[in-house]
A and B are shown apart, each in its own frame.
Chain A
Amino acid sequence: MQIAEPGQSKVKEACKQRVVGIDLGTTNSLVAHVADASPEVIGGSRAPGVGTPTASPAGRGSSPVGSTSDEGGPLVPSVVHYAADGVLIGRPAQARAADAPRDTIASVKRLIGRGLKDLGGVRAMLPYELEGDDRAVRILLTSGRLVSPVEVSAEILRELRARAEAALGGPIEGAVITVPAYFDDAQRQATRDAGRIAGLEVMRLLAEPTAAALAYGLDRGSTGTYAVFDLGGGTFDISILKLVDGVFEVKATGGDSAFGGDDLDRALARSMIGDALEAAERRTIGGAVAEARRVKEALSDLAVDRVAFALEAPRPELVCGDGDGVTHRVLVVGHDAVTTICDRRLAGRAADVAAAATPVTCVRCLGNGSVFRRSVTRAHLAGVVRPMLDRHTRKACLRALKDAELGKADLDGVILVGGSTRSPVVRDYVRELFEREPLCDLDPEQVVALGAAVQADVLAGGQHNVTLLDVVPLSLGIEMMGGVVEKLIHRNTTIPTGATQVFTTYADNQTGFDIHVVQGERETADACRSLARFVLRGVPPMMAGMGRVEITFLIDADGLLKVMAKELTTGKEASIVVKPSYGLTDEEVERMLLESFEHA
């Protein structure tokens, strides 16, 4: 059905705002904008997006951006290096990872809006030091300075802003930043603050798979129901969307905000070098995981089914014995260096070395001039990756289908998004799970930014042929007596929305009503994310059960939640706009904001 919209079909270029879409990724980030009604990525000499890089007045195409890292395409590695005399971002920062691992921050998205207890195994794989508590973490630099993940993310966003401003020839007036669909409100608020600190007017936080669907839908003019399988560096999302005549309805979304390609790299590294990964120093872990990623990426080329290392021992030393409980394992670091941990004692593993079919050895055990050889086949990679995908993605996919009240056969396609879906092992998995060939004709690393640019354009009044009906990714409720959660708004409800429920007092002469707002699917409040607490005071003393409090949740199109409480016999009211705390106070954010103006 075509709906006529008189006077709205043409974009008025003259009053168009300079707005962008930003994909702030775990591994890479990039910025895109809409030029002449179609989105295109900004920066870099290669521009293999859907748009053509020729239509813009600003000189793009030959690295004209006055930034330090605009080389090698539009992707900016999400890496920040803190040097004594300043900050490096992107590729120049990445180049410092090997020699200054503790001052070179990668994968910060895994930390944003998170406390130590949320991180679990992630912490051990990071080459830098963390401090913090259950609510927030800080990165401890070698200088002794502590930086928040929000500040680190802001550095990346500032770099993207600079690129965009150079390319578009003026200040950026607004940005849509993408977040994993399954990010909770603390992670979202932290991302929003990072944008503010970077000097961006954050128009909207948009779910990554939804952004991808926007780009796909516009590119192909599609109508139908699609699943978006989005496996990034540190997060996994699955979304089911229906596209009809410019309406994009998110039907269901789910995922695991703490699972991504990083975890696959780490598992592969462990399968290559075993327990050594746990025993090694942090910097060595970083190197081993990077090497695993190189292997994984090399195996993405279908012409390659085996990646070999032939590593010469850099300092051949005396052979050491293997009979005294010493484990000999090699850590493969980079292409040309081998590190040993054979001086670490790991009980009872000596036999492994003798019995191992594949060479498992250490550099000290190599003879003079020896070469360490090891190869990883795609089958080996699949053996590592598949069980993890099964554990972390399968259930979420099936649940999303169930929430959308759809079967696999009802889908018109499965769209692959995220750098990790380049791996044929991942593609094979998705094909088998959904019983169809997945779609990947748009660059899975660019499609999210392109979609974000479309939404920015919509919000700036540019495009009128796109309406996005998004959902709340996680249920919202309040804590009841005994710690049980009563959900007021269930996950996958279309926003904006609202819900009202009446609760009664639980104690005699109760004069206050504690309202604890939580987010998540679990049945008890302590297993959910705590978003806010407030008290409705002045309830007149009554018998238990007589006081009646009406609680209303309202969510706007931005996903922001407002909670109102009203005692029905007195009309006493209280309300808050939920702005989840994630460890940074408003004052700290303001301070960072002021500092950013001094920088700029």
Chain B
Amino acid sequence: MANPSSSDRAPAAAPARPDDPFALLGLTPSYDVDLAALERAFFERSKAAHPDRVAAAPAAERVAALSRSRALNDAYQLIKKPVSRAEYLLERAGVTIGANERLDPAFLMEILELREELAEARVAGNVARVEQLQRAMQARRADALGALSGLFAAGDHAAIKHRLIVLRYIHRYLEECDAALDEE
């Protein structure tokens, strides 16, 4: 089963995979996506592809609709979110991000300390502090995302890769913030 959101990514610099999410939605691959146009394209194609349309049809038609609809949904999700969109475009350009990428030790130290602070606030049930840490990290996330557009325009793949790795840490941190606030 083809699956564009698979974590098992090929490091090839192929111009477009057969299941290229941008191609599926009829869009030009670019980090700067018009979200309204993306949604329109997704809705338009979903109308035609949705399995509910062919619920009473023969099995082969239903299976085809199911996989097409699944591919559309996954493509839409991938393109809609800036991080997965950037990761995909980077991968498409032949740059992969491994599981154990090296980062600036200063950044790692900082994030480690921030995580400790978060853990302490969580244990102490200090909601205000958790929210404060969350806001600070959200601001950093916005900064990192904001820079991506310019970096893509400049074709600076190394810098994009670095930002994306940083964003993974930020993302994980924000998940922890959510988990802490959900316990409340």
Contacts and interface: CB of A to CB of B under 8 A. Distances in A.
Contacts of A1: 40, 44
A557 B43 contact: no
Given A521-B182, A550-B8, A459 B52 contact: yes
Given A245-B43, A494-B77, A552 B1 contact: yes
B43 A249 contact: yes
A211 to B, nearest CB: 14
Contacts of A459: 52, 55-56
Interface in B91-128: none
Given A203-B55, A494-B73, A554-B70, A499 B5 contact: yes
Contacts of B73: 469, 493-497
B70 A467 contact: no
A292 to B, nearest CB: 29
A3 B44 CA distance: 8
Nearest to B73: A494
B52 A557 contact: yes
Interface string A455-490: 100111100100111000000000000000000000
B51 interface: yes
Interface in B118-148: none
Interface string B25-55: 0000000000000011001101110111101
A461 B46 contact: no
Interface in A234-255: 244-247, 249
Nearest to B69: A496
Contacts, number: 84
B3 A498 contact: yes
Give the interface centre of B39, B48, B70 by most chain A CB atoms within 10 Å. B70
Contacts of A500: 3, 5-8
A502 B51 CA distance: 28
Contacts of B151: none
Nearest to A249: B43
A40 to B, nearest CB: 21
Given A246-B47, A557-B50, A498 B55 contact: no
B167 interface: no
A134 interface: no
B20 interface: no
B7 A557 contact: no
B16 interface: no
A31 B92 CA distance: 51
A461 B55 CA distance: 7
A356 to B, nearest CB: 35
B66 A557 contact: yes
A302 B44 CA distance: 45
A501 interface: yes
B76 interface: yes
Contact of B47 (A395, A467, A523): A467
B179 interface: yes
Contacts of A246: 47
B70 A497 contact: yes
B33 to A, nearest CB: 15
A412 interface: no
B52 A499 contact: no
A526 interface: no
B53 A464 contact: yes
Interface in A53-89: none
Contact of A496 (B7, B53, B70): B70
Give the interface centre of A3, A245, A467, A493 by most chain B CB atoms within 10 Å. A467
A469 B44 CA distance: 12
Nearest to A557: B51
Interface string B143-176: 0000000000000000000000000000000000
A467 B51 contact: no
Contact of A244 (B1, B43, B48): B43
Nearest to B43: A247
A467 B46 contact: yes
A131 interface: no
A467 B52 contact: yes
B10 to A, nearest CB: 13
Contacts of A245: 43
A577 to B, nearest CB: 14
A496 B3 contact: no
Nearest to B7: A501
A556 interface: yes
B46 A247 contact: yes
B120 to A, nearest CB: 18
B50 A498 contact: no
B46 A496 contact: no
Contacts of B51: 496, 556-557
Nearest to B6: A500
Nearest to A244: B43
Interface string A486-516: 0000000111111111100000000000000
A467 B74 contact: no
Nearest to A548: B8
Given A247-B43, A496-B73, A467 B53 contact: yes
Contacts of A521: 182
A521 B181 CA distance: 13
Nearest to A15: B56
Interface string A433-465: 000000000000000000000010011110010
Contacts of A556: 51, 66
B65 to A, nearest CB: 8
Given A1-B40, A247-B46, A469-B46, A502 B8 contact: yes
Nearest to B4: A498
Interface string A108-149: 000000000000000000000000000000000000000000
Given A247-B47, A467-B50, A523-B179, A498 B77 contact: no
A182 B56 CA distance: 28
B46 A557 contact: no
Nearest to B56: A461
Contacts of A495: 73
A349 B92 CA distance: 74
A458 to B, nearest CB: 6
10 contacts: A3-B44, A17-B56, A459-B52, A496-B69, A496-B70, A500-B5, A501-B7, A523-B179, A556-B51, A557-B51
Given A247-B43, A468-B50, 12 more contacts: A245-B43, A247-B47, A458-B55, A459-B52, A459-B56, A467-B46, A467-B50, A497-B70, A498-B1, A500-B5, A502-B8, A556-B66
The 6 closest A-B CB pairs, nearest first, are A557-B51, A496-B70, A459-B55, A247-B43, A494-B73, A500-B6
Interface of B: 1, 3, 5-8, 39-40, 43-44, 46-48, 50-53, 55-56, 66, 69-70, 73-74, 76-77, 179, 182, 184
